[in-house]
Every structure is written in structure tokens, then in C-alpha cells.
Chains A and B, each alone.
Chain A
């Protein structure tokens, strides 16, 4: 298969993203919700590398996103350096942290791994709430500087749309290339059977650590952008519930499919927006739709649809 054909979905996605931004720049769903969709795509695709392709669950990914956001905002403020270096610093610190905790955590499997990552997420959340002098605690942290590309300020919704779109597409592209590489095959082998993977000569614990760190670093980068885009941070954006939402995106779209994760991120971000008309019953209907989809499409929305189209 040629690389153009392999990445055809990616090109269609890129084109669609750009066209939406150019022609519907004033539309609320593009410029406001679209940016959030972009962040969610980065997070879901990163989590999918770990969960879908490598078979390791994480209920604490919001923590990496949150740490990335806070470090990116605090470092430039305290040391008076370029915000981009702040984001880079955040990615490095979170990467190191992920590496350190991966050693004990990734020895666990299944439910136990879920518990451990959940614990990590809760610890980070409490840390963000308690260190008031650094993070502003539960009141949040405001007055985050504007991000510049050279001397060009990213100061409008549409500009942010294109910045986030660029990074989201970058992460999608990296992810698609990663899973089709030798390292990607190793990841999928670990997900299939660690025992058999070891027999192939795959170093399973090293593979899991690498994916965990890559996934955390992507989330931290997204967090950095999120901090500057929002201009205000509150710990509640990074709570346990957000970690669960990310897991839901991956599962809903279809595990072990990058496009599935993208699809899940889009649906799970847009759906609540459309359900607003139901007012008090919004969450009830939202939950109902999720249950319904998982019963009738257990492999995930995107994967089920793709299978249907392929079998015709």
C-alpha cells in the first residue's frame, strides 16, 4: 500500500478542518467548540496509543493534561521566559514524571493498573488544589499571557482554531506513523499477549514505558496550549471525571483505531452541545445514548461503521 493511500483519511481530515475554519470562521461550533474538539482529539489519540494499541488502561490522563497546563503557565510567569519554552519545559517535566511513575505502575495489570493510575490522577488534582501560592488553588489561576508566534499574537478564536488544528493534526499524523512502524507492531503485540510478545523478542516493559511517556508528553503539550488559549485555569478542568471522559472518548470511538479516537472526541464534545435543548434531562439522555451505543456497537462507533462499509 502506498503511503498516500495509507494516509488518505488523514488528508481528508486535514482538508475538512481547514475548510471549516476558512468558510465557517464565525460559526460558534467551529471557532469555540472546534478548539475544544481539537484539544480532545490530541488527548484521546494520545490515550488511545496507550489504551487501544498497547492495552494498558489509564484513569489518570487528565493529570498529565493538567500538569502540562499549570507548568506551562507558571514557568514563563515566574522566570520571565518565552511561553513556548514554558510549554516545552512542561512536556519535559511531565515526561520525566511519567517515566518515574511508569516503573512501578506499569508492572500492574488490568484493574490494578486502573486503580494505580486513578490514584495518581487524584494526587495531582489535590496537589493543584492545595498549592495555593503556585496554582491559585480552587479559585484558579488567571491572567495567563497571550501566546505569540514570532511577533504574531494568537488572540482570537479563529487564530486559536488553526493553531490547535495544526497541533491536533500533527499528533494524529505522528500516531498514524507510529502504529505502522516496528515500534507500533511491538505495542500491538503487547496488547495482544505479553507472553507471546516476549517470545518474539519484544521488550514488553520497555515498550509499555515508552508509550506511557509519549502519551503523557502529548497530553502535557495539549495542556500547555490549553492554558494559553483559556487564559484561566481551574483544577476542576483536570479532575478524575475528565480522565473518565477521555477513556469514554477512546472506547466510544473504537479502541485501537486512531480515527476512532478522533471520532469519539468529536462526538463526545459535540453531543452535550446539541443536548442542551433538553435542559434538565440533558445528562440523562447523554448517558442513555452512551449505553445504547455500547450495547449495539461494542467495538465502538467508528470501528463498527468502518467494518460495515468495508464488508459491502
Chain B
């Protein structure tokens, strides 16, 4: 579904990504783990078109997408949940969700149906639909960010640190929802600092270190490999 080959990206003179290659198959949940500043989030923003890669190729369903604008990439059903949630604080919860469906051309009833589906996954959002998003707690904002991304009916969801700044119980809940969504058929690329949680729910994982793929493999194997754990994951 998604095939990244030898991409490079630099912030000015600082090389952030050297020759990263990875792929996500349809229906798969792939995790990118690794330490702070390894380049995980940069990979996601290169896929979603916010950053333009220097070299290499990003193919989605065999179509080269690396030169496309973020708008066009969203239209291809790739949706990103940004790090730090970035909900639109002054807007109501419902308006935030409506913005998620910005790229979708549907009539009012169909959009209402989509909203109802999101409210079914996150009942708390229904209770607070008229409140401004800035008034929500961190966990609720993360739910809103996920709901907002789902409103674009993504086939590939890019998740950037969904557990950031959340209490352990909430992290569990968010991961449960992510897993459910994956089981419903949404392919996912998950960037996480919380390596253990990410490896638990993913089927395949890449360990990113200094802008390179240090190692990759089935999540179950990585989680049981003492060497990798010691060297890269620090637990």
C-alpha cells in the first residue's frame, strides 16, 4: 500500500533522514519506534506532504506522491494525526470534526452519519460537542484528534505520538481504540516513544536511529530480542 524508498530530508544543514526505506501493507499496523530526535515524526510529515523530501520516492498504491501538496494527499485517503494533537482550540468539538471531513464531498445527511459513527466510538465527544475543543482534557483532545482524522475516511492513518502527555490508563484506552480501528481495516503507521505499547499492538516495526532504519522485523520478535531492547529501546 505504502512504499517508501531511500528518502532523505534535511533541516537546513542538519540531515534528519538518510536513506529511509519502509513499507506498510494493506490492513497492517506498522510501528516506528526509536529515541527522541531519531526522525520518526519527520518521516510522517514527509508522507503527508507537509515536508518535501530531497531524494527517494514515496509510493502509495503504486502512485508517486512525494511531490503532491498536503491537500491532494489527504484526498488520496491518507490522514495524519499530528503530534501534540493540534485541535482547533476556539472551535467547537463538532466543528473540529467537520473540519476533518473537509476533503470529503458528501451531503449533510451522509456527514451526519459519519459524525454519529465517531460519537459512537467516542461517546464523550458527543456529550461535549458544543464545547470549545480547548476546554477538553488532554485525553479527550487526543480522542478528538483521532475522530477528526477518521472523518476524512482514511485508508492509511499516520499517528504521531498518540500517547504523548497522557495518563497510563488513558494511554491504554487510546491504544485499544487504535487497535479496534486497525481491525476494522484501517492501515496504520504509528510513531511512538512508548515502544512497548507500540510493539504490543503492531504487527511489524521499524526501529529508527539517527535518521536510519537500525533494524526491523515482526513486532513480536523485536519485543523478545534482548539485544535490540537494550541497544535502542532502553528497557
B86 located at the interface, meaning its Cβ lies under 8 Å from any Cβ of chain A in the complex: yes
Q: Which of A71-79, A189-197, A262-270, A284-292 contacts B (4 or more CB under 8 A)?
A: A189-197
Interchain CB contact under 8 A, A196 and B90: no
Interchain CB contact under 8 A, A195 and B82: yes
Number of residue pairs across A and B with beta carbons under 8 Å? 67
Given known A193-B86, A193-B88, A199-B79, contact A185–B99 (CB-CB < 8 A): yes
CB < 8 Å neighbour of A186 from B49, B74, B79, B102 = B102
Question: For window 196-212 of chain A, which residues contact chain B by CB distance below 8 Å?
Answer: 196-203
B95-134 CB contact bits vs A (8 Å, 1 = yes)?
1001110110000000000000000000000000000000
Interchain CB contact under 8 A, A195 and B88: no
Interchain CB contact under 8 A, B86 and A196: yes
Q: Which residues of A contact B95 (CB under 8 A)?
A: 185, 188
Interchain CB contact under 8 A, A192 and B48: no
- Per the bound structure, the CA–CA distance linking A185 and B148 in Å amounts to 13
CB < 8 Å neighbour of B102 from A193, A195, A200, A256 = A200
- Per the bound structure, the CA–CA distance linking A191 and B90 in Å amounts to 10
Q: Which residues of B contact A256 (CB under 8 A)?
A: 90
Interface range on chain B (Cβ under 8 Å from partner): 20 to 34
Interchain CB contact under 8 A, B102 and A196: no
Q: Which residues of A contact B82 (CB under 8 A)?
A: 195-196, 199
B71 located at the interface, meaning its Cβ lies under 8 Å from any Cβ of chain A in the complex: yes
B135 located at the interface, meaning its Cβ lies under 8 Å from any Cβ of chain A in the complex: no
Q: Which residues of B contact A203 (CB under 8 A)?
A: 69, 71
A182 located at the interface, meaning its Cβ lies under 8 Å from any Cβ of chain B in the complex: yes
Given known A198-B50, A201-B70, A201-B152, contact A192–B102 (CB-CB < 8 A): no
Interchain CB contact under 8 A, A199 and B48: yes
- Per the bound structure, the CA–CA distance linking A201 and B73 in Å amounts to 8
Given known A185-B98, A201-B102, A201-B103, contact A196–B69 (CB-CB < 8 A): no
B56-71 CB contact bits vs A (8 Å, 1 = yes)?
0000000000000111
Interchain CB contact under 8 A, B88 and A189: yes
A95-115 CB contact bits vs B (8 Å, 1 = yes)?
000000000000000000000
Interchain CB contact under 8 A, A200 and B152: yes
Interchain CB contact under 8 A, A196 and B50: no
Interface residues of A (CB under 8 A from B): 182, 185-186, 188-189, 191-193, 195-203, 256
Interface residues of B (CB under 8 A from A): 48-50, 69-71, 74-75, 79-80, 82, 86-91, 95, 98-100, 102-103, 148-149, 152
Q: List 22 A-B contacts (CB under 8 A).
A: A185-B95, A185-B98, A188-B88, A188-B90, A189-B88, A189-B91, A189-B99, A189-B102, A192-B89, A192-B91, A195-B50, A196-B82, A197-B99, A198-B50, A198-B70, A199-B70, A199-B74, A200-B148, A201-B75, A201-B102, A201-B103, A256-B90
